[in-house]
A and B are shown apart, each in its own frame.
Chain A
Amino acid sequence: MNTLFTIAGVGILALIAEIVNLKRWLTLVVILGLAGALAFLPWYTNHAESAPAFNAMLMFDGSAVAFTWLIVIVTVFWLWMSAGYLRQGEHQTDKTSLVIFVVLGAVIMASFNNMAMLFLGLEILSLSLYALAGSKKDSLSSIESAFKYFLMGSFATGFLIFGIALVYGASHSFNLGEIFNFVKDNPDALPAYFYAGVVLMMVGLAFKISSVPFHFWAPDVYEGAPTAITSLMATVVKIAAIAAFWRIFGIIFCLTASHWVNIVYAMVVLTLVIPNITAIYQQKVKRMLAYSSVAHVGYILLGFVALANGNFVNPLPIIFYLAAYSVSSLAAFSVLIKVEENGGSFSGLYYRNKWLAVTMIVALMSMAGIPPMAGFTAKYLVFIAALSANLVPLVILAVITSAISVYYYFRVIIQMFDKDGSVEPVNVSWSIAILNFIFLVLMIVLGIFPAFDLLMRLIQS
C-alpha cells in the first residue's frame, strides 16, 4: 500500500524534476525511488496478513505481491534500458512520469479488490500509454499507433465497464470478496446477465492482454510505438493485464468457470495458432516480436485455463512464464534498440558486436522455449499444469506452435550470422552492456535454477 504511494510520489517527483533541474539524474532517482517502493513490499505474505486494505479497495495477497515484485523489478530494468529513450527529445520528465504512472496503474491492477480500482488502474495505465505511444511526435507511425491504441482501447473499456455494471447489478457490489461470496452462496440462482457481465469483462481484459480475436491492435501499436515503449507494453503492461485477468477469472469467477472456460479454450487455440503463423512472414524484427508477444499470451492463457480447469489456485506457472518472458523480451528489445540506433539491420550482427548478438540469441531461444533457457522452464510449468488438467490436445497444439515459432525466431539468428551483411560495428555503452549481461545471466539462471520453491512461498495461496 505504501508501495502505491511511493510510486505515485516518484511519478510526481519526476514531474517536479522539470522544475528543479534534476534531469541528469532523473532515471537514477526514479530507479532508487522504485527500489524504495519495493522496500515497502513484503517479501511474501500468508493468508493471515493478506487482509483487504483501505475499505477493501486493495488487497496485497500472495499473487498480488508476486505480480507487484515482478512489475517493479521489470520496470527498474526497463528504466535502466530505456534511459536513452527517455532522455531523447524535450519531454524527459513527462515521459518518465507517465511511465511511473503506467507502473502505478499496473500495480493497482495487480492488487485491486474493487472493480472501481480495476477500472481506474486500467485507465491510468492505458491513458499514460496512449500518450507514450504517441510520444515520438515526429513519426507518423508513432501517432498512428497512439490513435489506434486509444480508439480501440476506449472501445474495449466500454465493454469492460458494461460488464462491470452487469456484474454489479447481479451481485449488488463492486467488492471482489462480496462478489465471490455472492457467487458462492447462489451457485444456481445467478441471473443470465451476470454471465453476460462476466464475459463482457473478459472481452475487455482480453483486449488488454491482446488475446485473439482482440489482438489486432497489438502488432500495429507495437510496431508504431517507440521501441522502448513497445517493450514496456510487452512486459509491464502485459504483466498487469494478466494479473488483472488472473484476479478476476482465476479467483473471483473461478466458481463459474464452467460457463466461460470454453471461451478461453477457443481464445487459447486461436492465440496459439494465428500469431505464431502470422509472425513467420514478418520482415521487421519489431513487428515479429509484437506477434511473438501476442503468441506468448496463448501459452499464458493455456496455463490459466489449466489452472481454472484443474481447480488449482496457484498462479505460479503464469508468474514464472511472465517473468521469463519479460526478461527475454527486455533483452531482445534492448538489443533491438541498439540495432535501431545503428541502422536497424540485424544482418551480420554477430560480427559487429558479439555480445549483443549472443544476448539476442539467448533471448530468442528463451522465447522459443529451448532449454536450458528460462523460456523452457516457463513452458515446462505451463505444460505440467495443462497436463494435470488433462488438456492433452491443447498441449500438443502448443508444442507444435512453439516449434513453428522457432522458425521466425531463428530467422533473426540466421540473419545475425549473415556474412555478407553490414560490417559497421555497433557500439554499446557500459551501462547497457552490463544490463545485457544481467539479462543473459538471468535468462540462463532462471532456466537452470528456477527458484520455484521461492516463488511458491511468495505466493502461498
Chain B
Amino acid sequence: MVAAALIPLFPLLGFLLISLNVNRLQKYVAATIACGMMLLAFLVGVYTFFTTSGPVQIDLFTWIKAGSFESTFGFLIDPLSLIFILVITGVGFLIHVYSIGYMHDDEGQNRFFSYLNLFVFFMLLLVMGSNYLIMFVGWEGVGLCSYLLIGFWFRNQEYNSAANKAFIMNRIGDLGMLIGIVMIFMNYGSLDYGTVFGGNHNTAITTTITLLLFVGAMGKSAQIPLYTWLPDAMAGPTPVSALIHAATMVTAGIYMVVRNNILYLMSPISMEVIMIVGLATALLAASIAIAQNDIKKVLAYSTVSQLGLIFVALGLGAFTAGIFHVVTHAFFKALLFLGAGSVIHALGGEQNLRKMGGLRKYLPVTYLTFIIGVLAISGIPPFAGFFSKDEILAAAFEHNKIVWALSLLTSLMTAFYMFRLLFMTFFGSERAGEHAMSHIHESPKSITVPLMVLAALSVLGGFLNIPEALGGHHAMANFLQPVLAPVEAHEANHSTEIILMIVVVALTLVVIFLAYNMYVRRNDTSVDPEETTGVRRVLTYKYYVDELYNAIIVKPLYALSKVLDNIVERLGIDGIVNGLGKTVVYGSRGLRFFQDGSIGYYLFVMVVGIILILGYTINW
C-alpha cells in the first residue's frame, strides 16, 4: 500500500529533474520525463485503485510538532482521494501529452513542464493528505503553481498582474481556511481527519469552522466574491487553463467540502450558504459568459458557473452528484479547453471569437471533439454532462423548486453560450485575418490524440454513475459510501425524475435552436462589444465587478497605504522621533546662548541661584 506514496513522488521527481537541469535538457527529454512521470503516477494510481479496499493511512514523518500541536506528513487513501487521484493523474497525463505539441515552439518549454509536474505534485498532496495541514500545503502549493503558470509568459505585465491577482485572491481564501484549520485544532485537538470527524461536534463552532473553510473554497474554486481571478487566469498557456483552471485545481474547494461532509452536515447554515453562493455564482458567471468574445474567457466563466452548480449540489447535500459532476466536468471542460487551445494554436494565438468562424473544415478533429464537449456540457444525453447535471437538478428539485428553477436556468444558459461559442468558432463566415488563414492547419498528433481520448471520456464518463431512474446502480455513490456521512435517502420517485429529464433536455434543445438562430442563421457577431448597450453592455463588462473591486478595495488600500507612508509614518511617528531629536538640538542651540561669555551675567545667575537656595532653606 506504500506504493500510493509514490504517486505524488513521481511528479515531484519530474519537477526536480527538469527544474534542476532546466537549461541543459533537450526539449524532448524534458517532455518525456514530465509525461513519463505522469504516466507512472497514473499507473500507480490505477494499481492502487484496484488493490485498495477501504481507507488506508500512510504516515511518513512528523512534520510539525510544538507543544500540543502535532501534525504528521501522511497520506490518506480512500475512495474520495482515489477518484481525485485518477482524475488528476489521468487528465493530467493527457494534458501533458497535449502540451508537448502545444508548447513545442516555446523557449520555456522545460520550465513549463517542471511547473506542470510541480502542480500535479501539490494537487496530489491536496487530495491525498491525511490531515488538514497537508491539504493546506497542497492547497497553497497549487496556488503557487497556478501563479507561476499564469505568469508563464512573464514578459507581458498584464499576464503577471493576472498571476498576482490569482495568487492574492487565493490567499484571501487561504487565510479563512487557515483560521478554520486552527479552529479545528482548537476544538478537536488534532488536525487528523479521522480524529476530527469522530470528535465531539458543537454546532455553533462547526458552523464557524465550516464557513471559514468555505472561504478557502471560495478562493480556490472561484466563487462569489473571489471569482474574478479565474477569467484573468486565462492568460496562462491553454493546457494550464485546461488542467488547473478547469479540470483539477479549481475543484479543490469541492474536494474539501466533500472531504468535510460530516462537518458540513452538522451545520445547516453552512450548507445553506454554500448553496446560495454556488447558485449566485452559477447564474452570474453563466450570464457573463453569454456576452464574452474571448474563447477562453467564455470557457472560464463557464467553469465558474459549473463550479457554482456543483456547490449548489454540495449545499443540498448531494455530495455524490457533486463529485460526479466534478469528474465529468474534468473530462469535458479539459476537452473544451484543449479544443480551444487547438483552435488558438491553429490561428497563431488568436482568441477573439469575432475573428474566427467557419473553421470546421480546416480543423476537423478539433471540430468533432469540440462538438462532443459542447454536447456534454449542455447536458444532452447520453453524454457525460447529462447524467451528472441531471443528478444535481434532481437534488435541487427535491430540495426547493426555486433552486431547481434557477439551476435549470443556469443549465440552459450554459447550453446557449456553449453553442454560441461553437457556432461562432466553427460555423458561419471565415472572419479570421488572411495571415492567420494562410497558416491554418490541423494540430499535430500530440494534440489531437488527447482530444480524442478526452472526447471518448466525455461520451462515456456519464456511465460511471447512472441513476436508478435509468436503471443504473449509482456506482460512484456506492463507491464513495465510506467517505460520506450516512444521509437519509428519500429519493424522488423515478417517474418524476424521468419527466424532469425530459423537460430539461427539451428546453435545452430549444435554447440550442435559439443559439443556432442567432449565430448561424442571423450571424449575429458583428456587434462591436464597445457599441453594446443596456444589459448586454453590463454583461460584456462582467457587471463591472473588477472595476468595483478596484474602486472599493484596491484603490482605497493603496490610498490608505500612501497616507500611512507619507503622513502617518513620515510626519507622524518618524516626525515625533525626529522632532524629539530636533527639539534637543534646537534646545541646545537656545541653551548655549545662556552661556554668553560675560562674567557679569554668570555672577548674576549665581547670585539668583543663591537667593533661591537660601530662600528655600530659611522657609524650611
Contacts and interface: CB of A to CB of B under 8 A. Distances in A.
A and B touch in the complex (CB under 8 A): yes
Interface size, B (range): 20 to 34
Interface in B573-602: 581, 584-585, 587-589, 591-592, 594-595, 597, 599, 601-602
A282 interface: yes
Interface stretch (A149-157, A297-305, A316-324, A415-423): A149-157
Contacts of A152: 599, 602-603, 606
B348 interface: no
B618 A213 contact: no
A281 B592 contact: yes
Contacts, number: 75
A278 B618 contact: no
Interface in A135-193: 148, 151-152, 155-156, 159, 192
B617 interface: yes
Given A259-B617, A281-B585, A214 B595 contact: no
Interface in B205-219: none
Contact of B618 (A195, A203, A263, A274): A195
Given A213-B609, A278-B595, A281-B592, A199 B617 contact: yes
Contacts of B558: none
A282 B606 contact: no
Contacts of A44: none
B147 to A, nearest CB: 46
B606 A156 contact: yes
Interface in A198-241: 198-200, 202-203, 207, 213-214, 216-217, 219-220
A277 B614 contact: no
B610 A159 contact: yes
B606 A196 contact: no
Given A155-B606, A278-B588, A280-B584, A199 B597 contact: no
Interface residues of A, number: 34
Contact of A279 (B588, B603, B609, B614): B588
A278 B589 CA distance: 7
A199 B620 CA distance: 12
Contacts of A151: 599, 603
Contact of B602 (A200, A217, A259): A217
Tell which of A260, A278, A407 has the most Cβ of chain B within 10 Å: A278
Given A151-B599, A152-B606, A281-B589, A404 B584 contact: yes
B291 to A, nearest CB: 67
A156 B605 CA distance: 12
A141 to B, nearest CB: 11
A155 B603 contact: yes
A407 B587 CA distance: 14
B61 interface: no
Given A280-B584, A404-B584, A216 B617 contact: no
B592 A278 contact: yes
B613 interface: yes
B606 A216 contact: yes
Given A159-B610, A200-B610, A263 B616 contact: yes
A404 B613 CA distance: 28
B617 A196 contact: yes
Interface string B427-459: 000000000000000000000000000000000
A207 B609 CA distance: 11
Nearest to B589: A281
A201 to B, nearest CB: 11
B613 A277 contact: no
B599 to A, nearest CB: 6
Contacts of A214: 606, 609
Contacts of A202: 613
Which 6 A-B pairs give the minimum distances between C-beta atoms?
A216-B602, A280-B588, A281-B588, A213-B609, A278-B591, A199-B617
Given A200-B610, A260-B617, A277-B591, 13 more contacts: A152-B606, A198-B617, A202-B613, A203-B610, A213-B605, A216-B606, A217-B602, A274-B591, A277-B587, A278-B591, A279-B588, A281-B589, A281-B592
28 contacts: A151-B599, A151-B603, A152-B602, A152-B606, A156-B606, A195-B618, A195-B620, A196-B618, A199-B614, A203-B613, A213-B606, A216-B595, A219-B595, A259-B620, A260-B617, A262-B616, A274-B591, A277-B584, A278-B588, A278-B591, A278-B595, A280-B585, A280-B588, A281-B585, A281-B588, A282-B592, A404-B584, A407-B584
